[in-house]
Amino acid sequence: MLMEFIREQLALQLNVEEDAVWPDTRFDELGADAVDIVELVMALEAEYGVLLEDEQLERVQTVGDLIKLVEES
């Protein structure tokens, strides 16, 4: 499941609890910077076979935004 994958990735990358990651969680609340988001996107692209464009990522603020973007790709 996509949400589970994102939770696991963010927990590993950012050293946060998986329970801290919800669709309405903002990446900045987790302490994620641009590099962290790029690493997450690369993992998502590899796992789900999608290609997310930089322009699309500019509007991503929350985990839910990213989930929606992956689902639409």
Catalytically annotated residue among 33, 36, 54, 65: 33
Alpha helices in the chain (DSSP H): 2-14, 34-48, 54-57, 63-72
Closest among 25, 26, 67, 27 to 50, alpha carbons compared: 67
- Residue 25 carries which side chain, given as an amino acid letter? T
Widest distance between CA atoms in the chain = 29
Active site residue 24: no
Residues acting as catalytic residues: 33
